[in-house]
């Protein structure tokens, strides 16, 4: 090419959550069943939406206006509804103009990092959700900048690590929080959030909080929204319905801007995000129309509470199965629907394996691991080949730790127990080999 075509940051784009699917599909094509623990899709794991929710959507589908364009920032009545919900938290106060819809949070995340100056960085948690870390790294043309989540302290963030990295890296303009956290299932304590707000205030940063799981908590814990703790610091909350409703196929997410009036530069940034949506005309309309009708229905609270209880129950069942393996660092989860399990240092070694009865699959796995890959990815490939269980290695979540992420979504209890018992047995066999 006359000029270099590909940006330097493109090499930072990766998404192991779906990349592992390519490997799993090869095994599936040989006639083997796969148990999908790689992605957070409740519908795929047998969750059934209540009929009343489906009826609301069906009625909207029958309205002709559903098929037209909507305002670029999103439907006004829906933005009014969401602004009122946030304002009821008695923290940051917003108007409908402080809300902008996107085609899912993936779209929103891409826009945020696209319009930050090239030399500026947003520091995020590690392990890191790949959509955030890849987008930020691609924007910067460098590896992600992260602060540590500590598996030996309930996955809470290492605030000293965060503070020092912010202090000694003047290019940091923002801090990312994922609350509840993906991939760990940790819920940020109130005091921790307030300390992060203090750090942002001291160094004149803005905050981004991915709150897609904010209403998915269980086992006695509640998550505090960014709006409740942010004071006068500029910030963006990212929300959506893909996990909470759940309706992942709707591709419907939104951003809420807090304290735009407190910083002119931040206000211009928010305006640029709005302008980016205007260029695209609008986001998906049907789910926007459905949001006030579903989330505003008294039945939704009951439905969500029951669903959360069931996730919490499954979390404890998984803890009973995997929490007893001495070579693992296991933390109980309280939010979202994932758990990240870490192998203790020194337990994973280069020649460990599981027995794979099918020679065709064994040959494939041996080829996959016959390269320089992280030890936890090697384990994941063997688990996939030997047990037909698809999980995601934690090294792919921008982490130096070795482990894997699972979901808490399987609604068939027998299948859940069998799957995680098989994972446990696979771990024991692998480590003993």
Contacts of 201 (CB under 8 A, 6+ apart): 231, 232, 233
Q: pLDDT at residue 239 above 60?
A: yes
Q: pLDDT at residue 142 above 90?
A: no
> What pLDDT score was predicted for residue 307?
97
Contacts of 76 (CB under 8 A, 6+ apart): 96
**Cα 84–chain centre separation:** 25
Written as six digits, the tokens of 409 are 């979504």
Q: Where are the domains of the chain?
A: 8-48+309-432, 51-298
Task: Give strand ranges (E) for 279-347.
Answer: 328-329, 338-343
Written as six digits, the tokens of 273 are 């995000």
- State whether residue 129 is helix, strand or coil: coil
> What pLDDT score was predicted for residue 234?
98
> What pLDDT score was predicted for residue 174?
98
Q: What is the DSSP string of 335-379?
A: BTTEEEEEEPTT---TT-----S-HHHHHHHHHHHSSS--HHHHH
Query: Distance (Å, rounded) from C-alpha 255 to C-alpha 208?
Result: 10
Query: Distance (Å, rounded) from C-alpha 375 to C-alpha 373?
Result: 6
> What pLDDT score was predicted for residue 389?
97
> What pLDDT score was predicted for residue 19?
80
Contacts of 66 (CB under 8 A, 6+ apart): 60, 285, 286, 289
Cα 260 to Cα 67, 212, 278, 332: the distances in Å are 33, 22, 19, 37
Residue written as token pair 């489906």: 54
When pLDDT is averaged across residues 139-166 and rounded to a whole number, the result is 95
**Cα 71–chain centre separation:** 28
When pLDDT is averaged across residues 12-16 and rounded to a whole number, the result is 58
Going by C-alpha positions, the residue among 232, 135, 137, 216 that lies closest to residue 179 is 216
The pLDDT confidence band at residue 92, using thresholds 50, 70 and 90, is very high
Q: Is CATH 3.90.1150.10 the classification given to domain 8-48+309-432?
A: yes
> What pLDDT score was predicted for residue 293?
98
The pLDDT confidence band at residue 6, using thresholds 50, 70 and 90, is low
| Strand 253-258 versus strand 235-240 pairing type | antiparallel
For the chain, the average pLDDT equals: 94
Q: What is the CA radius of gyration of the chain?
A: 22
Q: Per-residue pLDDT tens for 32-80?
A: 999 999 888 899 888 999 999 999 999 999 999 999 999 999 999 999 9
Q: pLDDT at residue 3 above 80?
A: no
> What pLDDT score was predicted for residue 176?
98
Q: Per-residue pLDDT tens for 335-349?
A: 999 999 999 999 999
The pLDDT confidence band at residue 20, using thresholds 50, 70 and 90, is confident
% of the chain with per-residue pLDDT over 90: 86
Written as six digits, the tokens of 5 are 């075509």
> What pLDDT score was predicted for residue 221?
97
Q: pLDDT at residue 1 above 80?
A: no
Q: pLDDT at residue 5 above 90?
A: no
When pLDDT is averaged across residues 195-216 and rounded to a whole number, the result is 98
Written as six digits, the tokens of 174 are 């923002």
> What pLDDT score was predicted for residue 296?
97
The CATH code of the domain at 51-298 is 3.40.640.10
> What pLDDT score was predicted for residue 329?
97
> What pLDDT score was predicted for residue 15?
58
% of the chain with per-residue pLDDT over 70: 96
Query: Distance (Å, rounded) from C-alpha 136 to C-alpha 120?
Result: 10
Residue written as token pair 């160094």: 203
> What pLDDT score was predicted for residue 134?
86
Greater model confidence, 85 or 140: 85
Q: pLDDT at residue 11 above 80?
A: no
3-state SS string over 153-202? HCCEECHHHHHHHHHCCCCEEEEEEECCCCCCCCCCCHHHHHHHHHHHHH
Greater model confidence, 317 or 17: 317
Greater model confidence, 118 or 365: 365
Tell me if 239 sits within 8 A of 35, measured CB to CB: no
Going by C-alpha positions, the residue among 419, 424, 427 that lies closest to residue 46 is 419
Query: Does 8-48+309-432 match 51-298 in CATH topology?
Result: no
Q: pLDDT at residue 301 above 60?
A: yes
């Amino acid at each position: 090419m006359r000029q270099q075509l590909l940006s330097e940051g493109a090499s930072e784009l990766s998404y192991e959550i779906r990349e592992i699917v390519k490997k799993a599909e090869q095994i599936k094509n040989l006639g083997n069943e796969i148990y999908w623990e790689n992605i957070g899709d409740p519908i795929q794991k047998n969750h059934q939406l209540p009929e009343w929710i489906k009826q609301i959507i069906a009625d909207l589908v029958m309205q002709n206006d559903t098929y037209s364009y909507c305002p670029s920032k999103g439907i006004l009545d829906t933005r009014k509804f969401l602004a009122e919900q946030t304002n009821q938290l008695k923290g940051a106060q917003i108007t409908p103009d402080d809300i902008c819809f996107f085609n899912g949070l993936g779209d929103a995340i891409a826009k945020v990092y696209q319009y930050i100056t090239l030399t500026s960085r947003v520091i995020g948690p590690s392990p890191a959700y790949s959509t955030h870390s890849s987008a930020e790294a691609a924007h910067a043309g460098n590896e992600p900048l992260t602060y540590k989540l500590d598996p030996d302290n309930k996955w809470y963030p290492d605030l000293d690590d965060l503070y020092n990295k912010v202090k000694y890296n003047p290019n940091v303009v923002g801090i990312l929080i994922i609350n509840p956290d993906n991939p760990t299932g940790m819920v940020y304590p109130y005091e921790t959030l307030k300390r992060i707000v203090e750090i942002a205030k001291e160094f004149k940063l803005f905050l981004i909080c991915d709150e897609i799981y904010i209403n998915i908590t269980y086992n006695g814990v509640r998550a505090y929204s960014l709006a409740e703790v942010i004071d006068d610091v500029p910030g963006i909350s990212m929300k959506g319905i893909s996990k909470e409703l759940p309706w992942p196929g709707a591709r419907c997410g939104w951003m809420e801007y807090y304290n735009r009036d407190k910083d002119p530069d931040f206000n211009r940034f928010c305006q640029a995000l709005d302008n980016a949506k205007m260029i695209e005309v609008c986001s998906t309309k049907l789910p926007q129309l459905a949001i006030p009708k579903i989330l505003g229905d008294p039945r939704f609270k009951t439905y969500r509470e029951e669903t959360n209880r069931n996730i919490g129950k499954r979390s404890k069942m998984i803890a009973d199965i995997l929490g007893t393996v001495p070579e693992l660092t296991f933390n109980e989860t309280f939010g979202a629907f994932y758990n990240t399990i870490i192998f203790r240092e020194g337990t994973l070694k280069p020649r460990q394996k599981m027995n794979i009865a099918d020679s065709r699959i064994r040959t494939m796995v041996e080829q996959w691991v016959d390269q320089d890959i992280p030890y936890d990815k090697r384990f994941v490939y063997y688990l996939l080949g030997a047990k037909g269980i698809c999980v995601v290695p934690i090294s792919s979540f921008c982490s130096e730790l070795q482990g894997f992420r699972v979901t808490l979504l399987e609604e068939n209890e027998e299948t859940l127990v069998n799957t995680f018992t098989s994972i446990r047995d696979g771990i024991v066999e692998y480590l003993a080999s």
